Amino acid sequence: MLSEAKSRSAGKIKFGVITFPGSNTDYDSYYALSEVLGNKVEQIWHKDRDLKNSDVIVLPGGFSYGDYLRTGAIARFSPIMESVIEFADKGGIVIGICNGFQILLEAGLLPGVMLRNESLKFICKDAYLSVQTRNNIFTKNIEKDVIKIPMKHGEGNYFADEETLKELEKNDQIVFKYSSKEGNTGQAFNANGSQQNIAGITNKKKNILGMMPHPENACDPVLRKTDGSFIFRSVVQSLLN
Positions marked catalytic: 98, 214, 216
Is residue 80 within 8 Å of 46, Cβ to Cβ? yes
DSSP, collapsed to helix, strand or coil, labels residue 235 as helix
**Buried (b) or exposed (e) across 84-107, using 16+ Cβ within 10 A?**
bbebbeeebbbbbbbbbbbbbbbb
Task: Report, in Å, the least distance between residue 99 CB and other proteins.
Answer: 15
Q: Establish if 117 lies at the interface with other proteins (CB under 8 A).
A: yes
Q: Which is nearer to other proteins, 145 or 161 (CB)?
A: 161
Q: Read off the amino acid at residue 238.
A: S
Q: Which stretch binds other proteins (CB under 8 A): 44-52, 90-98, 157-165, 214-222?
A: 157-165
Q: Establish if 69 lies at the interface with other proteins (CB under 8 A).
A: yes
Q: Which is nearer to other proteins, 27 or 159 (CB)?
A: 159
Distance CA(47)–CA(172), nearest Å, equals 34
User: 179's torsion region: left (phi>0), alpha (psi -120 to 50) or beta?
Assistant: beta
Out of 6, 14, 70, 225, the residue judged to bind other proteins by CB under 8 A? 70
Out of 85, 140, 159, 225, the residue judged to bind other proteins by CB under 8 A? 159
Q: Establish if 82 lies at the interface with other proteins (CB under 8 A).
A: no
Task: Report, in Å, the least distance between residue 20 CB and other proteins.
Answer: 16
| CA-closest candidate to residue 127, choices 22, 1, 215 | 215
Query: What residues line the site for other proteins (CB under 8 A)?
Result: 69-70, 73-74, 77, 106, 112-113, 115-120, 157, 159-161, 193
